[in-house]
Amino acid sequence: MTRACNLRCSYCPTAKDGWPSLTPADARRAVALFCDRYGGGDVKLFGGEPLLVPEVVRAAMDAARERPEVRRVYLSTNGLGLDADWIAYLRDHDKAILTLSLDGRPEDHRTLRRALPGVADSYDHVVSLLPALSTLPRLVVTQTIAPKTAARAADNFRHLRELGLWRFNFLPGYYIPWRDEQLAALSAAFVAIASDVRASWERGERVYIRNLFTRAPTPFFNSGLVVDADRTIHPSNVGLSGSLEELLDETQVGTLDDPPTRELLAERSAAINGLLETRLPERVWTSTMAVDAALTRFCEGLYPAYFAQRARRARGTAAGATP
């Protein structure tokens, strides 16, 4: 949507300055291209902060709603642009999934998510909207875990649960350096969070962990048809990172006016990991692989409990069914 953002999060590498944004016409054209040439699927709207260009977001979401080839539309936001009108729109959109950034207790959230001058406090704003947000059928909270907050990640998760939130996506800080003790703290936090999740499932409580159902060939970044804010097309959004902007010329495979074939898109997507491994500083790459491994262990450790609670729910449903 846009590279612009009203926060300057300590762990975020997104290049923000000197970029255009898509127009509503661009957004509609991108959705049509995705469906007509590439067969559709899930649409993800990201930035920057997408709600800084609300008319572009609406255009994309309206277009996606009309196309049967689109399954879901994910809107990722820091929440500052949300209000009653947006919540009502998302509630009525049958394909919308709101992915909202909230990192835990207010002190840690504010430490990580620094606002530009004159911008409201994102924690206070989001918490003030929780009664209305809780009415959304599909709200997922992304809890980012930065190196400096890794030791408190389990406490931050419990705080978010106390706010009444129950759908989560965990995002350890990728493409930044981690010290050994911070990686150890991350692994310990995932063990504690997994224990809390298993206990909740055993009590019959609702807890959804989106990470259990997602897999990507490149840590953190998405592969597929990526339309950047300048209308260029890439097989991955790795160029969002300011430290990787020099890869944009290499990853570009077309534009909205001259899109690539499906075959070229897939071919260039397969080359992304090799580019990252050779271009990133060794410490950053090894840190990225280490946090990704910690997240993978967390997911793998939860699968048995997840399937067990599904079986319990199925038995309960069957027992309560009317013959």
Domain boundaries, the chain: 7-214+281-318, 223-278
pLDDT at residue 211, as a whole number: 96
The least confident of 71-80, 124-133, 186-195, 273-282 is 273-282
Q: How far apart are the first and last CA of the chain?
A: 51
Cα 7 to Cα 115: distance, rounded to the nearest angstrom:
4
Over range 167-182, report the average pLDDT: 94
Is a pLDDT exceeding 70 seen at residue 11?
yes
User: What's the chain's average pLDDT?
Assistant: 92
Over range 159-183, report the average pLDDT: 95
pLDDT at residue 323, as a whole number: 42
pLDDT at residue 155, as a whole number: 98
Q: What is the pLDDT of residues 17-74, one digit of tens each?
A: 778 999 999 999 999 999 999 999 999 999 889 999 999 999 999 999 999 999 999 9
Q: 115 near 122, Cβ under 8 Å?
A: yes
The confidence band for 16, taking pLDDT boundaries of 50, 70 and 90, is low
The confidence band for 79, taking pLDDT boundaries of 50, 70 and 90, is very high
Please tell me which residue, 164 or 115, carries the higher pLDDT value.
Answer: 164
**Nearest CA to 218 among 256, 273, 263?**
273
What pTM value is reported for the model? 0.92
- Whether residue 48 is preceded by a cis peptide bond, meaning omega within 30 degrees of 0, is yes
Question: Strand 223-227's sheet: what is its strand order?
Answer: 223-227, 232-236, 254-255
Q: 45 near 75, Cβ under 8 Å?
A: yes
104: left (phi over 0), alpha (psi -120 to 50) or beta: left
Task: For the domain covering 7-214+281-318, report its CATH number.
Answer: 3.20.20.70
Over range 303-321, report the average pLDDT: 84
> What is the Cβ-side half-sphere exposure of residue 13, based on CA atoms within 13 angstroms?
19
pLDDT at residue 299, as a whole number: 97
Percent of the chain residues past pLDDT 90, beyond the cut? 75
Q: 175 near 146, Cβ under 8 Å?
A: no
Sequence-separated (6 or more) residues with CB below 8 Å from residue 313:
none
Q: Residue 135 class from Cβ within 10 Å (0-12 exposed, 13-18 middle, 19+ buried)? A: exposed
The confidence band for 147, taking pLDDT boundaries of 50, 70 and 90, is very high
Q: 279 near 252, Cβ under 8 Å?
A: no
Sequence-separated (6 or more) residues with CB below 8 Å from residue 1:
21, 22, 27, 45, 46, 47, 48, 50, 53, 56, 57, 60, 229
Q: What is the pLDDT of residues 181-200, one digit of tens each?
A: 999 999 999 999 999 999 99
